[in-house]
Structure 1
Amino acid sequence: MTDVDAIRIAFDEGSLTTLRIVLGLILLGVALDTRVTDFRRAIRRPWAILVAVFAQFLVLPAITFVLTLLLDLRGSLALGLILVACCPPGNVSNILTHRAGGDVAMSVSMTSVGNVLAIFLMPANVAFWGSLHPTGRDLLREIELSPLSMLAEILLVIGLPFVVGIYLSHRFPRFAGKARRVVGPVATLGLAAVIVVGVANNWAIFTAYIGLVVVAVFVHDALALLLGYAIGLAARLPEGSVKASTFEVGIRNAGLGLLLVFSFFDGLGGMALVAAWWGIWDIVAGLAVAAVWKRRTGVSPEVGAAVA
């Protein structure tokens, strides 16, 4: 079997354009669900936001780096996990927080702040941790990754839709309220379709190497969810905010990672497999955690009081 670091997965320009559009719609959906008051809420409750940001952009990439060393992963697989760990959360985290009976308003605030910061922190994080990895750094040298080029791509896919969505939400709240009910679900289904088609077109590669990916993604995803939960508890956040932080840290926008793999890493096999499987497993695990949590604790007290 060919070394996973040597494989390249095909993804044509049309598929890349479709993926960009779908990801832009996902971020537009997040922004349409965001109000200026969410940022004001974040300013009034900075501790909860700082906890989520600290976990997402500092602790999770560091834990991921250590995990790749402990599992002795090949370079492309290690870079795939690092890339996903550096991705921001998507609107799936808000949905799962709602399903778990958590503080959705806080979740939306965390997602909004996290996506804005990711525009600048993600390229730096990927370049930093990737360059430190003993097997991944050689691949980065071959690819000659440019953090500035990645920043431009992230600005296009995250920044522009986010600004447009915030504007629409502020100026036309009634329209934004109706649009977000359509945009979010359509974009999520679109991303699922892109991943399914991509896997189907590369089925032989997927089945040959997925065994290398399953365990690493399972452990990594579990650690991300556990980190969000543990840091929320350690910071003594209310129960609803702990649920929010769990999914904000544990749920990553792996679709964005997949786009960056094909845009900047030449479809590097191990990275593409990790991002694709993460995007699938992350939702499955998140739904399971949310269902168990809601059944055991119901709606968190402070959330129920706010609704009442």
Structure 2
Amino acid sequence: MTDVDQIRIAFDEGSLTTLRIVLALILLGVALDTRVSDFTRALRRPWAIIVVVIAQFLVLPGITLLLTLALDLRGSLALGLILVACCPPGNVSNILTHRAGGDVAMSVSMTAVGNVLAIFLMPLNLAFWGSLHPTGSELLRDISLDPVEMLGEILMVIGLPFVVGISLAHRFPTFAERARKVVGPVAVVGLGGIIVVGVANNWALFTAYIGLVVVAVFVHDALALLLGYVIGRTARLPQASVKASTFEVGIRNSGLGLLLVFAFFDGLGGMALVAAWWGIWDMIAGLAVAMVWRRRTGVSPLEDPRPVAVGENA
């Protein structure tokens, strides 16, 4: 069997453009559900935001690097996990927090802050942590990853939709409330369709190598959720806020990671497999945790009064 570091997943330019549009719509859905007050709310609760940001952008990538070394993963698989760890959260974290009976207002604030910070921190984070992996660093040198170029890509699929969405939500709140109920689900269906078509077009490679990533993704996802829980408990946050921190750290926008794999890593096999499977398993695990949590602890009075529609984002 060919080394997973040597395979490439076929993905044409038209599909890449479609993926960019879909991800921009997903982030537009996040922004349409964000208000300026979410940022001011975050400023009123700085300690909670700070500990979650540190967990997202520093601790999780560091733990991920250690995991790739402990499992002795090949370079492309290791870079795939590190890339996912560096991705921002999507508002699936808000939905799962709502399902678990957690503090949705805090979750929305964290998602907004996390996505803004990720625009600048994600390229630097990936370059830094990837360079520390023995074989992953070799792949990065071969690819000559340019953080500035990646920043431009992230600005287009996160920054621009986020600014547009928040502006619409601020000036036309009624329209934004209606639009987010359409934009999010349509974008998620589109992303699912892209992944299904991509898997179908590369079925032989998918079945040959998926076994290499299942265990790594399972452990990594469990560690991410556990980190969010532990960081919330260590910071002595209320139980509802601990639920929010669990999903804000544990749920990552792996669709963005998938775009970057094809845009900057030429569809590097191990990275693409990790990003695709992580997105699927992350949702399954997150829903399971939310359901168990809600049954055991019930609904918190701290829930955001704004409705959260199922399937709004990935």
TM interval, short-chain normalised: over 0.9
Q: Deviations over 1:6-38 (max 9, x none)?
A: 001110111111111111011101100001111
Residue number in structure 1 paired with 2:60 = 60
Using the TM superposition, give the Cα deviation of residue 186 of structure 1 relative to its aligned residue in structure 2, in angstroms. Answer: 1.2
Task: Structure 2: give runs of 5+ residues left out of the alignment.
Answer: 308-314
1:1-308 equivalences in 2 (<5 Å): 1-303=1-303
1:103–1:300 Cα contact (<8 Å) kept: yes
- Report the AA paired with residue 38 of structure 2: D
Cα separation, 1, equivalents of 2:200 and 2:101? 36
Cα separation, 2, equivalents of 1:304 and 1:253? 22
1:130–1:140 Cα contact (<8 Å) kept: yes
Q: Deviations over 1:269-303 (max 9, x none)?
A: 00000000001000010011101111111112444
Cα separation, 2, equivalents of 1:298 and 1:179? 30
User: Relative to structure 1, is the Cα distance of residues 96 and 306 closer, same or farther in structure 2, using a 3 angstrom cutoff?
Assistant: closer
Cα separation, 1, equivalents of 2:49 and 2:280? 27
Using the TM superposition, give the Cα deviation of residue 200 of structure 1 relative to its aligned residue in structure 2, in angstroms. Answer: 1.1
Cα separation, 1, equivalents of 2:63 and 2:227? 9
**Pairwise CA RMSD:** 1.4
Cα separation, 1, equivalents of 2:189 and 2:289? 21
Q: Deviations over 1:221-252 (max 9, x none)?
A: 00000000000000011111111110000000
Q: Deviations over 1:102-145 (max 9, x none)?
A: 11111110000000000000000000011111010111111000
Would you say how many aligned residue pairs link Structure 1 and Structure 2? Answer: 307
Q: Deviations over 1:31-72 (max 9, x none)?
A: 000011111100001111111101000000000000000000
- Report the AA paired with residue 14 of structure 2: G
Cα separation, 2, equivalents of 1:221 and 1:248? 12
Using the TM superposition, give the Cα deviation of residue 304 of structure 1 relative to its aligned residue in structure 2, in angstroms. Answer: 9.0
Aligned-residue sequence identity (percent) comes to: 83
Task: Structure 1: give runs of 5+ residues left out of the alignment.
Answer: none
Using the TM superposition, give the Cα deviation of residue 184 of structure 1 relative to its aligned residue in structure 2, in angstroms. Answer: 1.1
More helix by share: 1
Aligned to 2:266, the other structure's residue is in SS state: coil
1:238–1:302 Cα contact (<8 Å) kept: no
2:102–2:302 Cα contact (<8 Å) kept: no
Aligned to 2:2, the other structure's residue is in SS state: coil
Cα separation, 2, equivalents of 1:203 and 1:24? 27
